[in-house]
Amino acid sequence: MAQAERAAELARLLDAAQAKLAAAEQSAEEARALAEQLGEAEERLEAERAAADKLRKELAEQRFQAEVANWKLSSIKVARWNRLGDAIKSGKSNPMRLAKGLRGAAKPVKRPSAPKRKPVAGAGKAKDERPGAAFQATSTTRTLGGASFKLKPFRVPTGPNTRPHLTAAVIADPHAEALLRYEWRQTTGFTPRDFARVLPLEVPHLLVVESVTQGPWAEEIAGEPGDGLKALLAWCAERGIRTVFWHTGGDVAAYAAASELFEHRFTTDLTVAWPRLQFGVQPRVHNPLPLAGGRIDRVLTLDQLLPGHLAYPDVLTSYRWPAAADCPPGTPQWRLAEIAACGTPIGTEPDARRAHVALRRAYQMGTMTERIDELLDAIGLPSARATLNTSVLLPILDPYLMEHALAQVAKQSGVDQLIVVGPPEAELRARDVLPDVDVIYRRPQPSMTEGAMLNAGIDLCEADLVAVMDPRDVYGSHYLSDLRRAFLFSTADIVGKAAYYAHLRKPQATLLKQPDAEYSYLPEIAGATLLARRNTLRELRFADLTDGWDEVLMRQCRTDGIKVFSADRFGYVRVRDEDRWLLGAALLVEYGSAEPHALI
């Protein structure tokens, strides 16, 4: 009888969990539908704005033509011959009036000034000067095998800058300009004719000139240096502005004469004996944030993926489109890195695990932020910027879990500080296991909840980011470095995992929770995967609970409008003896260990 009641209770719980899962899936579907409606509304709004701008220009032209007509009429009225005619007409029967009128007509009269065209005022805000504001995708249609596909364009972010204290004047092709625009305050678009007027508006700290192949500077740089380039470099020399030539393509001999005029020279070509400045991925645009419409269920060749007519913002859309990209031998390494950094598998078959490893490797090869650090150090300018150094909060309620918990932290890279709240022996053991980490220990009070332990540690954290780790769970060696990466391309204050693997010991089941929740802004993530900006956590604090403190924290985030971002599914395993909710709310992967699936 007891077993039957227990089975009935389990069945009821399973039904309830499945009902919640169905409701969540329905909500997700509704959210996707709303996103599509929002995209369509934005397109209609853009069309309405374009129509309004056209009407505004037509109205301004009509007003100008009316002003011209009035000016012509006024000019005719004050003309000498017209005034003579008026005098003769009015004085033909009165000789005295005629003589007076002729004398007045003989005097010079100032003619009215001709009207000038005025700039058409826009209906919206002033021009947005943030990086990426005018650098958006325009081509939304792709053609494959005669079939046409309409894409939701990837929206190029409009900031922030990595080094807002630094201003650079940049002459570059669209690709290099996209890589550099988020690294400093960037001035572009000036020409050999107007640089002396444009650059003084915000005098730059350095000038960076790429070996451009198009635009007004191309002829100035290739072959014999042009007068415009010489004048620009002289202008910089007078003001102590450092000058950098960056050779990124073409025969270096074609740029030899021009490059000699610069203070510093760099190249991407390994055969050229100049200091190296290689391309790197730009996290703000080369990242796994998906397109609104998702991926197409096809593997595309590089020619299909990137037809020649695409501008670079449209290239960023295409990178995110296919299930996989089949790239031929000889594809430039920077191109492969950019595709991989956008989360697209490279090969003949889609493979999420291989794609994640390739993404990680693309970032490990170096980001443009790291490349610019090297450039600034070489030319003697400060490369100061915000860091992603990390403090780890480790509350240990069960002394038997201490060794396991410390081993999980020891695997991680980039840990500057460990705050341990637990049994007395944890302090010495933590210092032994983590000799290069600043370890701070606090002994918990009796009956202290996990939330209270976290509150006791948060004020001790000194790093920019704070991670919370659960002593019961398993963390891969790339866990923290993968999570930190999300702060390079998201605008969230809290990052974690809503999609993750779980292992239940009693049934020996491996589960996958919310596989569709990767790389998206969501209402909540798992508390054991929390990585947050320190100041944000200090303002929020933790609820005085052992179970459910993370749910309270996520509710507070929703109330305060704090963005929460769910990263990838890999690098973490939630470990419990049993979990009825997970059984009903997650996908069964297999009966066996979760680590081969999660830890890559």
Q: Please determine, for residue 105, whether its predicted confidence score (pLDDT) is greater than 70.
A: no
Helix orientation angle between 352-364 and 479-489, rounded to the nearest 10 degrees: 70
**Which DSSP category does 569 fall into?**
S
The mean pLDDT value for 301-321 works out to 91
Q: What is the per-residue DSSP string for 227-276?
A: HHHHHHHHHHHHTT-EEEEEE-SS-GGGGHHHHTTSSEEEES-TTS-S-B
Question: Residue 367: which of 282, 246, 428, 298 has the closest Cα?
Answer: 282
Res 123: pLDDT? 46
Supply the pLDDT for residue 391: 97
In this structure, are residues 466 and 537 in contact, taking their beta carbons and an 8 Å threshold? Answer: yes
Q: At residue 179, does pLDDT exceed 50?
A: yes
On the question of pLDDT at 122 being above 60, the answer is no
- Give me 284's structure tokens: 């703000």
Cα angle: 259, vertex 260, 264; to 5 degrees: 70
**The pLDDT value given to residue 428:** 95
CA distance 324 to 348: 7
DSSP code per residue over 402-443:
HHHHHHHHHT-SSEEEEEEES-THHHHHHHHH-TTSEEEEEP
Backbone angles phi, psi at 184, to 5 degrees: -165, 180
Q: How far apart are CA 433 and CA 416, in angstroms?
A: 14
User: What integer pLDDT is reported at residue 557 of this predicted model?
Assistant: 95
3-state secondary structure of 448: coil
User: Out of 118-122, 419-423, 462-466, 554-558, which region has the weakest mean confidence (pLDDT)?
Assistant: 118-122
Position 387 scores a pLDDT of 87
- What pLDDT, on a 0 to 100 scale, did the predictor assign at position 52? 79
The predicted structure's pLDDT at residue 145 = 83
Partnered with residue 18 across adjacent β-strands are none
Cα–Cα distance for residue pair 577/94, rounded to 1 Å: 120
pLDDT for 35 beyond 60: no
Range ranked top by mean pLDDT from 99-113, 556-570, 576-590: 556-570
Question: Which has the closest alpha carbon to 338: 320, 350, 314?
Answer: 320
**How much is the average pLDDT of 382-408?**
94
Which class for 315: exposed (0-12), middle (13-18), buried (19 or more C-beta within 10 A)? Answer: buried
d(CA 593, CA 573) in angstroms, rounded, equals 10
Predicted confidence (pLDDT) at residue 87 exceeds the cutoff of 70: no
Kindly indicate the confidence band of residue 469, based on its pLDDT and cuts at 50, 70 and 90: very high
450 phi/psi in degrees, rounded to 5:
-65, -40
User: Which residues does residue 149 pair with via DSSP β-bridges, in sequence order?
Assistant: 142
CA-based R_g, the chain, Å: 33
DSSP string across 153-202: ---------S-TT-EEEEE--HHHHHHHTTSSEEE----TTTHHHHGGGG
Residue 192: closest CA among 222, 224, 233, 223: 233
Question: How many H-runs (helices) and E-runs (strands) does the chain carry?
Answer: 21, 22
d(CA 223, CA 298): 45
d(CA 494, CA 531): 6
Looking at residue 497, the DSSP 8-state letter turns out to be -
Q: Would you state the pLDDT for residue 581? A: 77
What gap in Å lies between CA 17 and CA 580, rounded to an integer? 8
What sign for the dihedral angle of Cα 315, 320, 325, 327? positive
Give which of 456, 459, 455 is closest to 542, Cα–Cα: 455
Residue 197: its pLDDT value, please?
A: 92
70-79, 195-204, 554-563: least confident range:
70-79
How many residues belong to the chain?
A: 600
- Pick the more confident residue, 384 or 335: 335
The answer to whether residues 506 and 576 touch, using CB atoms and an 8 Å cutoff, is no
**Statement: residue 340 has pLDDT above 80:** yes
CA distance 481 to 477: 8
Question: In sequence order, which residues have a C-beta less than 8 Å from that of residue 555 and are 6 or more positions away?
Answer: none
Q: What band does 157 get if pLDDT is binned at 50, 70 and 90? A: confident
Percent pLDDT > 90 in the chain is 67
- Overall average pLDDT of the 589-597 stretch: 94
Residue among 162, 569, 151 nearest 343 (CA): 569
pLDDT for 54 equals 75
Percent of the chain with pLDDT strictly greater than 70: 83
Judge whether 422 and 395 are in contact, CB under 8 Å: yes
Question: How sure is the predictor about 53, in pLDDT bands with cuts at 50, 70 and 90?
Answer: confident
Query: For the chain, what is the mean pLDDT?
Result: 87
Q: What is the dihedral sign for C-alpha 211, 217, 218, 219?
A: negative
The number of beta carbons lying within 10 Å of the beta carbon of residue 282 is: 23
- Model pTM score: 0.77
Q: Which of 207, 154, 153 is nearest to 180 (CA)?
A: 207
Mean per-residue pLDDT for 544-566?
A: 94
Per-residue pLDDT, 441: 96
**Confidence at residue 585, expressed as pLDDT on a 0 to 100 scale:** 79
Q: When comparing pLDDT for 476 and 97, which is higher?
A: 476
Q: Find the mean pLDDT for residues 449-458.
A: 94
Q: What distances in angstroms separate CA 250 from CA 281, 569, 580, one per listed residue?
A: 21, 42, 63
Peptide bond into 160 cis (omega under 30): yes
| Cα–Cα distance for residue pair 484/480, rounded to 1 Å | 6
Torsion of CA 9, 13, 15, 20, to 10 degrees: 160
**pLDDT surpasses 90 at 280:** yes
pLDDT at 126: 47
Query: Which secondary-structure segment (H or E) carries 501?
Result: strand 500-504
How many whole angstroms separate alpha carbon 258 and alpha carbon 94? 81
- Give ∠ CA 431-435-437 in degrees, rounded to 5: 90
> Torsion over CA of 142, 143, 149 and 150, rounded to 10 degrees?
30
- Tell me the C-alpha distance between 60 and 354, whole Å: 58
Mean pLDDT for 143-157 is 87
Q: What is the pLDDT of residues 213-249, one digit of tens each?
A: 889 999 999 999 999 999 999 999 999 999 999 999 9
Residue 124's pLDDT is: 45
For residue 540, pLDDT over 70 is answered with yes
Decide: 83 and 105 in contact? Cβ < 8 Å. yes
- Beta partners for residue 460, in sequence order: none
| The two three-digit tokens of residue 49, written as one number | 């704005």
Contacts (Cβ under 8 Å, ≥6 apart) of 508: 591, 592
Distances in whole angstroms, Cα of residue 395 to Cα of each of 183, 408, 453, 468, 543: 38, 13, 6, 8, 14
Q: Which residues pair with 300 in a beta bridge?
A: 325
Average pLDDT over residues 156-170: 90
